[in-house]
Structure 1
Amino acid sequence: MPKPGTKPLPTKIKELRGGKNTYHRKPNKKEPQPETSDKVPKAPAYLSKVAQAEWRRMAKELHGVGLLTKVDIVALAAYCECFANWVDITVKLQRTGLYIKSPIKRDKSRMVDGKMVEGKILSGGNIVQSPLWAIKNRAELEMRKWMVEFGMTPSSRSNVQVTEKKKNDPLAEFMARGGKPVRVK
C-alpha cells in the first residue's frame, strides 16, 4: 500500500516550479521485474460485468506501458471489483437521494408489571444522511489505494518508472552467451 510520509509531487509540477528533485531517494536497482505477457490478459471469470468492463479499459492501458505483469492480475481484479462496487453504490445514491427519513422514533421503552412495553410513536423520524454515503466513501477509499499501487493517480505516477522493452539484439545475445567477436579481413 502507499508509503507513509509526504506524497511525491508529479514530475510536471516540479518542472513548472523550476525546482530540482527535492527527494533524495535512490532508485531500487534490485527491484524484482516480473514477466509481462505479449497479450493483454483476459479478465478473470469471477469479476462482475462492470468490473470486467473496467478490466478491459485499464488492462489495455497498464499493459501498454508495461505495468501489468502476470503477478498483478489479482491486484487489478481487486481494483476492478472496488470500482464496480463504487459504481453500484453511486447509482443507488442517485436513485434514493443523498438523505433519507430515519426510522420511526419511539418514546423510551419501559418495564410495566415486569414486562417490557415499547414506547409510543412520537414522530416519523428525522432527515439524515443516507447510510450509502459511508459505504460509498469506503469503496472509494479502497479503490484509491489500488489506483496508487498501479500509478493511476497523478502523484503516484511520478513514482512509477516505466522501462522500455528491450529489442532483440543478436550481437548482444551472442556476447551474453560468451561468444567472441571475430574480425573479418
Structure 2
Amino acid sequence: MAGRPPTPTHLRLVRGNPSKRPINTHEPTPEKGVPHVPKHFGKMGRYWHERIAAELNQVGVLTRLDAKALELLIEAYVEYRTHCETLETEGYTYRTDQGLIKAHPAAGMKADAWKRIHAMLSAFGMSPSSRSKVNMAGEDKADPLADLLKARDE
C-alpha cells in the first residue's frame, strides 16, 4: 500500500477531521486494559512491561489488543539496555589480531534496537512529536478573562 497509513478513527475524532473524509463508524473498539506480561520475559522485561503499560493505561491509549506491539517495544528496549551495558564494559571499539581498530558489533545492534524503539514509541504516542498531534479531551482550563467578563455582566 503506497502513501501514509490511515489515521485511526479515535485520533481523527480527537484531532478533528479537516479533510471531511467519512469516519468509519464500524471500526472495532478493543477492550481497554493492560495486557498480561509475556511468560518469556526476564526480570528486566517484566519490570519495563509493568512500568510502561501502567503509564500507557493511565493516559488511556492501551488496549488488550496492543499486547504484541507492547511486547515488541519492551523486547527492543531490553535489547538496547543490554547492548548499552556491553558497550560500557567492553568499549565501542576493539583491536583485531591484525591490529586494526573496528567498531564493536554491539554498537550496530544498539543502533538497530534504537530505531525499533523509536518507531514503537511513536506508535504509542510516547515521543514529543507524536504526542503533540493528539489533543486530549478533558476539563476546560479556567480562563481568567472569561471569568472577569462574566462577573462584570452579572
Change (3 A) 1:69 1:84: same
Q: In structure 2, what is the equivalent of residue 78 of structure 1?
A: 72
Q: 1:55 aligns with which of 49, 54, 70?
A: 49
CA deviations on 1:92-115 (whole Å, 9 max, x unpaired) are 00000111102x23xxxxxxxxxx
Q: CA deviation at 1:25?
A: 5.2
Q: The residue matched to 1:128 in structure 2 has which SS?
A: strand
Decide which structure has the larger Cα Rg and report it: 1
Taking the aligned partners of 2:56 and 2:132, their CA distance within structure 1 comes to 15
TM (normalized to structure 2)?
0.69
Cross-structure match for 2:10: none
Aligned to 2:146: none
Which structure would you say has the larger RCO, counting Cα contacts within 8 Å and 6 or more residues apart? Answer: 1
2:129 is the counterpart of 1:155: yes
- Please name the residue that 2:102 is paired with: 128
Q: Which residues in structure 2 correspond to 1:1-185 (within 5 Å)?
A: 29-30=23-24, 32-37=28-33, 40-102=34-96, 104-105=97-98, 125-160=99-134, 162=136
**Contact kept in structure 2, 1:79 and 1:143, CA below 8 Å:** yes
Q: Distance in 2 between matches of 1:61 and 1:48?
A: 20
* Distance (whole Å) between structure 1 residues aligned to residue 73 and residue 21 of structure 2: 26
Higher helix share: 2
Runs of 4+ in 1 over 4 A off after TM superposition: 24-28, 161-164
Name whichever structure is richer in strand by fraction: 1
Aligned partner of 1:115 in structure 2 is none
Deviations 1:17-43 (A, max 9, x none): xxxx9xx55687325432213xx4431
Gaps of 5+ in 1: 5-20, 106-124, 165-185
Which structure 2 residue ranges, 5 or more long, are not aligned? Answer: 5-14, 139-154
In structure 2, do the counterparts of structure 1 residues 79 and 157 end up closer, same or farther at CA, with 3 Å as the change threshold? same
RMSD: 2.8
SS of the equivalent of 1:136 reads: helix
Structure 2 residue matching 1:51: 3-state secondary structure: helix
Taking structure 1 as the reference length, what is the TM-score of the superposition?
0.58
Number of residue pairs matched by the alignment:
124
Q: Report sequence identity in percent.
A: 30
